[in-house]
């Protein structure tokens, strides 16, 4: 036990004194806090040019109020070139208002003039309007997030409807109000709200994925590098292989957990402080129920340990660090399968695929997490799956220690996993 603790302490020290580990942790913590603390940078960067009418509609009244607090006539005014071929737009300021924009129209006499103004950068974009139902949108470079054309189309359609309704002697505002009428409803969810839990379940699966890929490789590298620098010659004669492999794997698990807690904790803490700025938009990500945390802690950590032991034993089978990626490919592939099952399972949390995956130890870390977070699961299922995963974890640990003991002093070409198993059985 004392030797195990000495190894654990030494290996943890290796992580915490590793500059890239510290730098990654600090950068990710700062990034998490930064992203949450400065929501304006994310949403404000698109500017009002590309803020869609849809977004404007979706905004809550409070948010809308916040937008309105920004005086529209101060600096934010965008310029658009307009060639109204047949004079179809009766009131330009009303049209701009329908677009939800504080626009300045640069009136043009022909199509070439529109293109020249847009080309010179004087106007953000231009419109050549045949009539309210036919127009050409002119833009220099079109961004992926450009929604101005949609906004213009909606404003043109609204103006057209108003015009036709007025011609027929009807009150357009009444008709518009009629269309805007929404039934009042409330939701009573008897099971789980998948829509609400999707975001945090997805986030937890991604956290587990990165944790495993990153630390799995580090554990394998740690084992192999001791073979390649021959430190293992001293180590295996100084302590038993169980203490060595368990110390290494658990150090990786603890380091990963601490890094995870620091980064997620920074994000959650920052969200608590800057929650108002988000208007509850990220509640779905950070408002994680206790049972989901518990499932993540138990299944996530056990799944992580299971794979970590696999990485440890693969590390013992090769002698050069450059052989690790090839040797660990089957384990990574296994986890990627588990990951994709999880990603598909997010949309069908009670499907047969996720149900089966939640009982297979190599996939249950993700499978059971999804079922607990988003689907229906009985307590006995959680217990059986947890017991299976725990048994596999212990088995993988014992096997890893045996393979580690067998493989550590075998230098040269990589040893096949099946050969190692055969040799262990022979003993």
Partner 1 sequence: MKLEVRDLRKSFGEKEVLHGISFSIESGKALGLLGRNGAGKTTTIRILMDVFHANSGTITVDGRPFHPKQFRIGYLPEERGLYPKKGVEEQLMYLAQLRGSSRADAKQQTMRWLKRLGVEEYAQRKLETLSKGNQQKVQLAQTLVCDPDLVILDEPFSGLDPVNSQILKDVIQEQIEAGKLVIFSSHQMSYVEEFCEDIVLINRGEIVLSGALSQIKKTYGKNRLIIGMGESCQDPGQALTDYMGELIRVVGRRKEQVIVELKADCTRELLLRELLERELVPEEFGNYEPSLTEIFVEKAGDQS
Binding site for partner 1 (CB under 8 A): 3, 6-7, 10, 226, 229-239, 409, 426-427
Tokens found for residue 243: 């203490």
Report the alpha-carbon distance of residue 309 to residue 298 in Å, rounded. Answer: 17
Q: What share of the chain is helix, strand, coil (3-state, %, to 5)?
A: 70, 5, 25
Closer residue to partner 1, CB minimum distance, 232 or 331: 232
In whole angstroms, the minimum distance from the beta carbon of 238 to partner 1 comes to 4
Residues near 420 by beta carbon (within 8 Å), at least 6 away in sequence: 313, 317, 403, 406, 407
CB-CB contact of 316 with 223 (8 Å): yes
CB-CB contact of 68 with 48 (8 Å): no
In whole angstroms, the minimum distance from the beta carbon of 229 to partner 1 comes to 5
Largest CA distance in the chain: 98
In angstroms, the Cα distances linking 205 to 65, 299, 327, 330 are 37, 11, 24, 20
Report the alpha-carbon distance of residue 203 to residue 398 in Å, rounded. Answer: 32
Closer residue to partner 1, CB minimum distance, 5 or 26: 5
Closer residue to partner 1, CB minimum distance, 7 or 317: 7
Count H helices and E strands in the chain, helices first. 20, 4
Closer residue to partner 1, CB minimum distance, 140 or 233: 233
Closer residue to partner 1, CB minimum distance, 180 or 237: 237
Give, for 127, the enclosing helix (H) or strand (E).
strand 125-131
Give, for 136, the enclosing helix (H) or strand (E).
strand 134-139
Closer residue to partner 1, CB minimum distance, 7 or 374: 7
Closer residue to partner 1, CB minimum distance, 3 or 24: 3
In whole angstroms, the minimum distance from the beta carbon of 317 to partner 1 comes to 17
In whole angstroms, the minimum distance from the beta carbon of 233 to partner 1 comes to 4
Closer residue to partner 1, CB minimum distance, 19 or 188: 19
Q: Among 204, 231, 218, which residue's Cα sits nearest to residue 16?
A: 218
Residue 84 phi/psi, 5° resolution?
Answer: -90, 95
Report the alpha-carbon distance of residue 362 to residue 391 in Å, rounded. Answer: 12
In whole angstroms, the minimum distance from the beta carbon of 419 to partner 1 comes to 11
Q: Among 260, 292, 270, 280, which residue's Cα sits nearest to residue 193?
A: 292
In whole angstroms, the minimum distance from the beta carbon of 239 to partner 1 comes to 5
Closer residue to partner 1, CB minimum distance, 17 or 74: 17
Closer residue to partner 1, CB minimum distance, 142 or 230: 230
In whole angstroms, the minimum distance from the beta carbon of 314 to partner 1 comes to 21
In whole angstroms, the minimum distance from the beta carbon of 101 to partner 1 comes to 60
Report the alpha-carbon distance of residue 354 to residue 348 in Å, rounded. Answer: 8
In whole angstroms, the minimum distance from the beta carbon of 318 to partner 1 comes to 16
In whole angstroms, the minimum distance from the beta carbon of 23 to partner 1 comes to 17
Report the alpha-carbon distance of residue 69 to residue 62 in Å, rounded. Answer: 11
H runs (alpha helix) in 282-351: 283-286, 290-295, 301-317, 324-345
């Amino acid at each position: 036990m004392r030797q195990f603790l000495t190894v654990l302490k030494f290996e943890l020290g290796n992580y915490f004194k590793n500059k890239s580990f510290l730098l990654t942790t600090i950068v990710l913590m700062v990034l998490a806090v930064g992203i949450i603390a400065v929501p304006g940078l994310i949403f404000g960067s698109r500017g009002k040019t590309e803020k869609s009418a849809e977004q404007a509609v979706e905004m809550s009244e409070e948010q809308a109020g916040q937008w309105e607090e920004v005086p529209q006539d101060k600096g934010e005014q965008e310029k658009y070139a307009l060639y109204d071929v047949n004079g179809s737009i009766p009131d330009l300021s009303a049209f701009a208002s329908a677009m939800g924009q504080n626009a300045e129209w640069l009136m043009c006499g022909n199509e070439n003039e529109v293109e020249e103004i847009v080309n010179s950068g004087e106007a953000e974009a231009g419109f050549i309007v045949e009539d309210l139902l036919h127009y050409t949108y002119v833009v220099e470079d079109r961004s992926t997030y450009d929604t101005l054309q949609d906004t213009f189309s909606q404003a043109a359609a609204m103006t057209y409807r108003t015009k036709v309704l007025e011609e027929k002697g009807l009150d357009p505002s009444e008709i518009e109000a009629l269309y805007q009428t929404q039934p009042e409803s409330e939701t009573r969810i008897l099971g789980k709200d998948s829509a609400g839990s999707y975001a945090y379940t997805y986030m937890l699966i991604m956290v587990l994925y990165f944790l495993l890929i990153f630390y799995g490789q580090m554990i394998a590298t740690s084992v192999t590098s001791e073979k390649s620098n021959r430190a293992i010659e001293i180590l295996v004669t100084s302590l038993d292989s169980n203490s060595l492999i368990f110390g290494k794997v658990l150090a990786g698990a603890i380091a990963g957990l601490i890094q995870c807690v620091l980064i997620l904790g920074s994000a959650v803490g920052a969200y608590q402080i800057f929650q108002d700025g988000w208007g509850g938009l990220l509640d779905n990500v950070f408002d994680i129920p206790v049972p989901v945390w518990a499932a993540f802690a138990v299944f996530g950590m056990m799944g992580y340990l299971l794979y970590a032991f696999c990485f440890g034993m693969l590390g013992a089978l090769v002698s050069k660090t450059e052989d690790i990626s090839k040797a660990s490919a089957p384990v990574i592939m296994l986890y990627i399968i588990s990951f994709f099952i999880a990603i598909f399972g997010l949309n069908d949390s009670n499907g047969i695929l996720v149900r089966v995956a939640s009982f297979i130890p190599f996939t249950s870390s993700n499978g059971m997490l999804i079922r607990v977070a988003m689907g229906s699961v009985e307590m006995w299922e959680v217990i059986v799956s947890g017991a299976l995963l725990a048994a596999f974890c212990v088995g993988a640990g014992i096997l890893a220690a045996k393979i580690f003991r067998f493989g550590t002093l075998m230098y040269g070409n990589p040893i096949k996993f099946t050969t190692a198993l055969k040799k262990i059985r022979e003993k």
